[in-house]
Amino acid sequence: MKRNILRQLVEHGFDVTVVPARTSWQEALAYEPDAIFLSNGPGDPSAVEGVRDTVRELAARKPLFGICLGHQILGLAFGGKTIKLKFGHHGGNQPGQDLATGKVAICAENHGYAVDADSLREAGEPVEITHVNLNDGTVEGLAHAEKPLFSVQYHPEASPGPHDAGYFFGRFREMVARHKAGETVTGAAVASGRTASAI
């Protein structure tokens, strides 16, 4: 996990507890968290054993935000597949488009795999593709239409824009606060920046 992710979470008012990737969902919930964050990490996401089931259980119970590998694991947890890219995305100059607004952010990326869009659609879960890479059209963001969870493939904490994508941490904070207050809030509404009245 990148240190700047932790710094951004703390700056947005979170009290963070870090647990190993092999932590069971029961062990994670024993900390009584308000939300779950899925971090970045190396390698082939489909080779990370057991984590997709854990994430699916956590997603049924808590608001959730994932970055990079966390985004890919979330895609797997909801029935999608990942594919190895012919040319991986590496560097601080990748164009990521928000499909709700049309806005393009300069994104920092370092990954060789991507969530396969067709497999997500075929899985039948109400998961929306929220962002795409304009170089090759691959999935850059996901959000659930019924649950409070969303994810991005790139690294908003790396600040290549420098602040093009930093708003995700604020939206995560908003989603958690509204969920904790008993509101019905979805990742799709929050990730797209829709107001509470539009949910």
Where in the sequence numbering do the catalytic residues fall? 68, 155, 157
Omega of the bond prior to 162 within 30 degrees of 0, cis?
yes
Q: Within 13 Å, how many C-alpha atoms sit on residue 126's CB side?
A: 10
Structure token digits, residue 122: 């075929």
What does the angle CA 25 – CA 28 – CA 34 come to, to the nearest 5 degrees?
115
DSSP 135: T
Residue environment code for 31-53, b if the CB has 16+ CB neighbours within 10 A, otherwise e = eebebbbbbbbeeebeebeebbe
